[in-house]
Structure 1
Amino acid sequence: MGSCDRDGLFGALPEQGAPARAGGGAPRLRLAERSQVEWRPLSLDELVPEDHRVRLVWEFVDGLDLSALHATIKAVEGRAGHPPADPRILMALWLYATVEGIGSAREVARLCGEHVAFQWLCGGVGTNAKTLVDFRVAQGAVLERLLVDSFAALVRAGVASLDRVAQDGVRVRAAAGAASFRRHSTLEDCLRGAEQAVRDLRAELDADPAAGSRRQAAARQRAAKERERRVRAALAATAELKARQQDKVRRQAERDARKPKPAAAQARKKPEPEPRASTTDAEARVMKMADGGFRPAFNVQFASDTTSGAIAGVSVDPIGSDMGKMAPMNDQLAAHYGRRPRQHLADGGFAKLDDIEALARDGVETFVPVPTPRDPGRDRHVPLPDDPPGVAAWRERMKSDAAKTIYKERAATAECANAQARNRGLTRFLVRGLDKVRTIALWHALTHNMVCSWRLIGA
């Protein structure tokens, strides 16, 4: 009976406990079927979850006053013209892209065709990289007003305050190579070469208009003129730097005349090097970066509220040092909000005595570490005989435990804002020129305040 079972009904079954044969039949799999037509009655809105943060971005943008952008639109009722994209769409696309750490217009344009969140923001409105990049760099004044409005809204909601602000700078790599910097004399040679290239192109086209296609010829001519423009800008920058250098040498000579130095010290003094500027971005300057290296960069300053962490003010300049930037930022805040912060926090790099005294006259207490004196026996917190009242009060104030406690809020506020901006892509500018660079910094500041509103007020 058992033998019949093995040869008959159950003869094909493997023995109990025996491993499966490696040379068995082909595996059965679920294969992709991409040619199958399906009917899916879904809208874009249904593809995005209700708790997706892209909806928070749109809600934030929908509450902004964009009347200044609407005023520039030429396509109006009763007139001919192709209607442009809603400014709210472009604003939301860049805010959401900044949250995601995306700074390339080409990448945003690609995602608008492939990513459902960007498609949801577009809502069927087409866009391209040219439109996106033009919108991004042209809204500096609008973004500054929106930043002020966003911070004022947090103050009205009771979650932010202008009483105490912390300021810090972050050096961001410029869109210029270190090898693009030239001295003034070299730039003059470059300018002559660029002008000659433009003349040669014009002569070639005049002699043989069919030498190349119109599009190629126009592109070559635009490139030659752009090169000439950049070299001229670099020449103007080196001329300005040279004038400042000569003024600095003159003032130093006047000081030396009043207080003569020994001849040996005068002999050791090295002459100032010839100033240089970049033919790629004439407004960029070589700065010492956080890693200790030297690269072309811009110095971005953020002033943040210690209560909420929101950014109240932004400034950008091509000077690597933070010295002397505290009073101008405080003046900017006073102009934007109608009153000054009661207390201003900054690190030791901002400790310029003129700024401290000027802010003290305006009723602002500064909390900046007192530099270590050259004389190790002198107490740095004891006022000097020639200290003005504001500086003397600052020295004595920074000795107290209360001031030390207040100063601890600086790192948790200002450095946090800088770190979050870097995490969102503020590591290298993709645009050239101080105005465009400042506009990108404002995009990051407005994005920062948008995220703060989600945390402080809620969706």
Structure 2
Amino acid sequence: MYIQYTMDQLCLPMDLEEDIPPNHLVRVVNSAVNRLDDTIFDAAYPGGGRDSYHPKMLTKVIIYAYTQRMYSSRQIAKVVRENIPFMWLAGRQRPDFRTINRFRSQRMKDVLETLFTAVLQFLADEKYVSLDHYFVDGTKIEANANRYTFVWGKAVSKHKAKLQEKVHALFADIEAAEKQEEQEDHGKDLAELGECSEISGAKLEQVTRELEARLLNKPKDKPLKKAIRKLRKDLLPRLHKYEQYQKQLGDRNSFSKTDPDVTFMRMKEDHMRNGQLKPGYNVQIGTENQFILAYSVHQSRADTRCLQPHMEKVKQVLGRLPQTVIADAGYGSEENYAYLEKEEIQAVVKYGSYHIEKGKAWRENIGKFENWTYDEVEDTWTCKAGTKLRFRYESKKTLDSGYELRQRHYRSTGCQGCPLKAECTKAAGDREVTVSLKGLRYKHQARQLLQSEEGYRLAVRRMIEPESVFGQLKNNRGFRRFLLRGMEKVTLEVGWLSLAHNLLKQAANDQKRRAAILQ
């Protein structure tokens, strides 16, 4: 005998909720989004036109899709028609892939951060996070851009310089031809222009028009006609192109033609295992209890230059800055220490040589001025041989960010007969050192804090905070390459990922709490 099987028979109950377990993740997503105020979405819908799908429904569908490793709008549209949890979230409505993609990348561009902050406030109210300790780290994620349509800043500058030489040579030829025809007044203008070190595209366009006007009076002047043709067909378009490239580069050294916002970076997850450069973005996140508190996307390859703009984003999202920031040595620069001190933030941040200084080789190296003695009253350094290095002058350097770095220069006298000179320095003359006293003070403060009981505990905890989150995003949920292009849309992708991660983490914590109660 068989259990009765009839496809045409109507079965009860028809409510999809009966097929979803009580503690299923989809219920966590549904509950979190339902708690949001509907007015949050008002900015995404200015009004007019036909009725739209409810933004809460689309938000639930997209967040749950991201928790299930589904990032393609076509794939999400497919499961909304076939998968029971998705069908339940959507209320059996069937938005197509264009609607889903337009909602997550256009409609929500001014709303997603507010939504993220609202969900984070729910987590704080329920004691999942305290917003006091902020563990920050960054990772590089490959962009949705062609790996071979790159533009390098140095190459652009080089080609532009060569083009300027060709322009100057062309003007010199025109000037020589004008002199032969005894028209010195016209040649004088070109001569003055030819003396300019760099000619802009706008100036070259103006001169080209003047030459074209002159050609109307001398239509049989073949050299002039040839020069104008070369300017119009070759030199002028290339100069405009190089200027546009330099504008897009800004202070970067590269970008991709398919996504001008990206920078070429070395990726650890290189499938060729040869450290090749690939187009990508530097994603910075801050975590507490492995919940993402804030996120930001940067074009800079170095984490050092990302801390300050990221913390400004944190202030915007949280409404305040955290009490303590914990980060690895990639953030340990004098500029960052100064910023955290100004904002009255406790900085549990290592610097580059922190671990090396603990080694025996460093401590016994007599050439390191850090192992010498500094006299604040005399402003001198005394080396291991007892020779004093006296202050000579102070230099100032303004970094790209605007921070002023002050360095003091010291020099010894009488190093020639020193028996320790071979171990101290390879320089032929007397020993010189360049020191930032402010930087040394910040390093001393960081060292003392990291060696304290609280600092050591937070530094160890950092290893399982943002690193674990990146492992979840990249390995467990397979997000290794962005789907969208442009800084704005990529930031939205990171926002959706962060929302999905936080609700996944909440569901995992709830499950642990229930298990603890049952025990």
Q: TM-score over 0.5 for the alignment?
A: yes
Q: CA deviation at 1:451?
A: 2.3
- Residues 360/276 of structure 1: CA separation in 2 closer, same or farther (3 Å cut): closer
2:307 aligned with 1:336, yes or no? no
**For residue 220 of structure 1, what is the aligned residue in structure 2?**
none
**For residue 283 of structure 2, what is the aligned residue in structure 1?**
300
Out of 106, 119, 129, the residue aligned to residue 74 of structure 2 is: 106
TM-score, structure 2 as length reference: 0.61
Q: Report the secondary structure of 1:324's partner residue.
A: helix
- Residues 48/31 of structure 1: CA separation in 2 closer, same or farther (3 Å cut): closer
% same residue:
24
Q: Report the secondary structure of 2:337's partner residue.
A: helix
In structure 1, what is the Cα distance between the partners aligned to 2:327 and 2:437?
24
Q: Trace 1:248-263 onto structure 2 (pairs within 5 A).
A: none
In structure 2, what is the Cα distance between the partners aligned to 1:234 and 1:155?
50
**For residue 39 of structure 2, what is the aligned residue in structure 1?**
67
Amino acid at match of 1:355: N
Q: Report the secondary structure of 1:445's partner residue.
A: helix
Contact 1:370–1:398 at 8 Å: present in 2 too? Answer: no
Q: Report the secondary structure of 1:286's partner residue.
A: strand
Q: CA deviation at 1:173?
A: 0.9
In structure 1, what is the Cα distance between the partners aligned to 2:118 and 2:26?
21
In structure 2, what is the Cα distance between the partners aligned to 1:49 and 1:157?
23
Q: Trace 1:24-423 onto structure 2 (pairs within 5 A).
A: 36-41=7-12, 42-70=14-42, 72-73=44-45, 81-138=49-106, 139-182=108-151, 184=156, 238-240=245-247, 244=251, 276-291=254-269, 292-305=275-288, 308-372=289-353, 376=362, 377=365, 378=368, 386-387=437-438, 389-422=441-474, 423=476
In structure 2, what is the Cα distance between the partners aligned to 1:125 and 1:234?
48
Query: Gaps (5+ residues) in structure 1?
Result: 1-28, 189-230, 246-274
The structure whose RCO (Cα within 8 Å, separation 6+) is larger is 1
Out of 432, 445, 448, the residue aligned to residue 501 of structure 2 is: 448
Q: CA deviation at 1:95?
A: 0.5
> Cα deviations across residues 426-457 of structure 1 (Å, max 9, x unaligned)?
21101000000000001111112222333446
- Residues 46/283 of structure 1: CA separation in 2 closer, same or farther (3 Å cut): same
**For residue 175 of structure 2, what is the aligned residue in structure 1?**
none
Contact 2:297–2:491 at 8 Å: present in 1 too? Answer: yes
In structure 2, what is the Cα distance between the partners aligned to 1:65 and 1:111?
27
Indicate the structure with greater strand content: 2
Amino acid at match of 2:97: A
TM-score, structure 1 as length reference: 0.68
- Residues 32/353 of structure 1: CA separation in 2 closer, same or farther (3 Å cut): farther
Q: CA deviation at 1:30?
A: 7.6
> Cα deviations across residues 215-245 of structure 1 (Å, max 9, x unaligned)?
xxxxxxxxxxxxxxxx999967731366647
In structure 1, what is the Cα distance between the partners aligned to 2:261 and 2:130?
35
**For residue 382 of structure 2, what is the aligned residue in structure 1?**
none
In structure 2, what is the Cα distance between the partners aligned to 1:234 and 1:119?
50
In structure 1, what is the Cα distance between the partners aligned to 2:334 and 2:497?
31
In structure 2, what is the Cα distance between the partners aligned to 1:283 and 1:232?
21
- Residues 340/240 of structure 1: CA separation in 2 closer, same or farther (3 Å cut): same
Q: CA deviation at 1:395?
A: 3.4
Amino acid at match of 1:428: R
Q: Report the secondary structure of 1:84's partner residue.
A: coil
**For residue 431 of structure 1, what is the aligned residue in structure 2?**
484
In structure 1, what is the Cα distance between the partners aligned to 2:287 and 2:492?
18
Contact 1:143–1:446 at 8 Å: present in 2 too? Answer: no
- Residues 141/71 of structure 1: CA separation in 2 closer, same or farther (3 Å cut): closer
Query: Gaps (5+ residues) in structure 2?
Result: 161-237, 270-274, 375-434, 515-519
Contact 2:286–2:295 at 8 Å: present in 1 too? Answer: yes
Q: Report the secondary structure of 1:398's partner residue.
A: helix
Count of matched residue pairs: 353
In structure 1, what is the Cα distance between the partners aligned to 2:105 and 2:335?
35
Q: CA deviation at 1:149?
A: 2.1
Q: CA deviation at 1:137?
A: 1.1
Amino acid at match of 1:299: N
Amino acid at match of 1:49: P
Q: Let me know the Cα RMSD of the aligned residues.
A: 3.4
- Residues 415/88 of structure 1: CA separation in 2 closer, same or farther (3 Å cut): same
Bigger Cα displacement from structure 2, 53-62 vs 378-387: 378-387
Q: CA deviation at 1:126?
A: 2.2
In structure 2, what is the Cα distance between the partners aligned to 1:107 and 1:186?
46
In structure 1, what is the Cα distance between the partners aligned to 2:4 and 2:140?
50
- Residues 398/110 of structure 1: CA separation in 2 closer, same or farther (3 Å cut): same
Q: CA deviation at 1:297?
A: 0.8
In structure 2, what is the Cα distance between the partners aligned to 1:64 and 1:95?
14
In structure 2, what is the Cα distance between the partners aligned to 1:438 and 1:75?
26
